[in-house]
Amino acid sequence: MPDEKKLNFIEQIISEDLKSGKHQQIYTRFPPEPNGYLHIGHAKSICLNFGLGQTFGGKVNLRFDDTNPVKEDIEYVDSIQEDIKWLGFQWENQVRYSSDYFDQLYSWAEQFIEKGLAYVDDQTAEQISATRGTPTQAGKESPYRNRTPEENLKLFREMKAGKFADGEKVLRAKTGMDSPNMHMRDAVMYRIKHADHHRTGSKWCIYPMYDYTHGQSDYLEGITHSICTLEFENHRPLYDWFLDQIYDPKKIRPRQIEFARLNLNYTVMSKRKLLQLVEEKTVSSWDVPRMPTISGLRRRGYTPLSIRNFAERVGVAKRNNIIDIALLEFSIREDLNKSAQRVMTVLDPLKITITNYPEGKSEELDAINNPEDESAGQRKVPFSRHLFIEREDFKEDGNRKYFRLKPGKEVRLRYAYFIKCEEIIKDQNGEVIELLCTYDPLSKGGKSPDGRKVKGTLHWVSAPHAIDTEVRLYDRLFTDENPDGHKDKDFKAFINPNSLQILPNCKSEPFLKTAQPEDKFQFERKGYFCVDKDSTLSKIVFNRTVSLKDNWKRK
């Protein structure tokens, strides 16, 4: 058992249930709807549910809530399974689906009707909504509420047989119309949808609602603790009411427990709105690195450990709050700082010629792979007469506080030598195109031969050995902390126009020639980067995962 003092409120409930003997083993589930890719908010739920199983030696099901065939797709089913595995978790036995239980759910619905607990309503969705009332005013009973069980059973079977059009009839539970909880006002159990299902094909044209399906599926699977986000708190009485009608005391009865969902600033956490971004071509796909989807974060270079650590730091709360995205960025920096291979890449190349270094000569210098990990060892970096440095690392009129390269001043090249800028070459437009420098051959390894101080240290790449790379600099997708929180503005009004900058002509050291998609590196002085799947044999593409430091607040 885990340390009782460190348990969150859900873990405390589970611990008490196990100690009291109420349950011998816990059984939870993760129940996504396959209508989109999972995002970072779902990652927290995945980590919580599967983490509970690991902490208490329990089991966890993956069950797709596939009750709406109009919005569901096998692509989403596959991506969700891939995301869960990538995060490092495995569900119990085979994948489950709510559609596995359609026959049983239908059979129970007939029993509800026979007991006088459900009826077929001919009202439209608009009419039902208009008669629900308000939280302070009771709703109005349907004129069809008092049909006999025999008539309701006949109509329900005709619904199943496809005799009615979409929206023509629904099956509603007799939960009452005067509850202060709006979800408890004769809740809809089934609606008509003439649409093929990705698993059951054309067998069904009526589909159960989530509130009816959720608890019954938990019950059928023997789930002990049904962990939901806080927006389902008001659904819990209905969850329990449906269970009350079928519960056998000899079997396990699931308990629904709610926790606060993850809300992240500078992000939208709605699959519907993320789908809108994809469908309207604001972004090209669900897995673009600007998206907060798990697949987007993976492609950007986030690691499973960083996301799991982030979820643990956020914790499990009873109240909704907004988490600073800087915490997510801190988690990936922390992980990659320990694990990422260091390399040198020049994003905006400026050519340097070292005039006193022999033409045609080159040598290999020792470079540290990761100062945080001695076991990572060293690599060889080629050095020659012709180099590239960052254009921003030279300033023609740099003042005394400018410690990078400027005329007549020395800088240290990382792992190499001291160099001094002697001459500037410009094109006809006055743009600097090349620097002529000299080097001190006695300063190899960047060590001062006579104790003189050189403050600036630059990264560089040997021009003859450099490989061409494309670098994509990603930033936050939205400029507003709460893009979804403005009643008078659409969330897309806050799309960050600078969320992607493509640098097509970068130069990298040859070590990166064999890099593969999802390989991760720290570009010295520039940030953490990941090889993108768009890479080709002729050009490697890198995505910036995160900068070395949080520089958003300085913008």
Query: Reduced to 3 states, what is the DSSP secondary structure of residue 429?
Result: coil
Residue 116 burial (CB count, 10 A): 12
271 part of the active site: yes
CA dist., res. 307 & res. 305, Å (int) = 5
Crossing angle of helices 40-56 and 304-314, in 10° steps, is 80
Report the Cα 239 to chain-centroid distance in Å: 29
The type of residue at 23 is H
CA dist., res. 406 & res. 422, Å (int) = 9
Instruction: Provide the edge-to-edge strand list for the sheet that holds 345-346.
Output: 341-343, 520-523, 527-531, 540-546, 467-474, 500-508, 345-346
- Catalytic residue, chosen from 132, 154, 174, 261, is 261
**Are 289 and 474 in contact, with CB atoms under 8 Å apart?**
yes
Query: Reduced to 3 states, what is the DSSP secondary structure of residue 252?
Result: coil
Token pair, residue 206, equals 């009526």
Nearest Cα neighbor of 51 from 28, 82, 31 is 28
Crossing angle of helices 102-114 and 236-246, in 10° steps, is 80
CA dist., res. 523 & res. 342, Å (int) = 6
Bridge partners, 531 (sequence order) = 542
Nearest Cα neighbor of 92 from 104, 103, 84, 102 is 84
Return phi, psi of residue 484, to 5°: -95, 5
- Catalytic residue, chosen from 63, 96, 191, 271, is 271
Report the Cα 501 to chain-centroid distance in Å: 21
Return phi, psi of residue 55, to 5°: -65, -40
Task: Tell me whether strands 520-523 and 527-531 are parallel, antiparallel or unpaired.
Answer: antiparallel
Query: Reduced to 3 states, what is the DSSP secondary structure of residue 502?
Result: strand
Token pair, residue 292, equals 């907060």
Return phi, psi of residue 542, to 5°: -115, 140
CB-side neighbour CA atoms (13 Å) of 196: 6
**Are 217 and 208 in contact, with CB atoms under 8 Å apart?**
no
Which single residue is written with the structure tokens 């800028």? 421
Token pair, residue 215, equals 């608890």
Token pair, residue 194, equals 């003439």
**Are 344 and 254 in contact, with CB atoms under 8 Å apart?**
no
Return phi, psi of residue 482, to 5°: -130, 70
Q: How far is CA 187 from CA 141, 183, 191, 431, in A?
A: 12, 6, 11, 71
Query: Reduced to 3 states, what is the DSSP secondary structure of residue 266?
Result: coil
- Catalytic residue, chosen from 33, 233, 334, 422, is 33
447 part of the active site: no
Which single residue is written with the structure tokens 């640098």? 503
33 part of the active site: yes
Cβ burial 490-513 (10 Å sphere, 16+ → b, else e): ebeebbbeebbeebeebbbbbbbe
Active site residues: 33, 261, 271
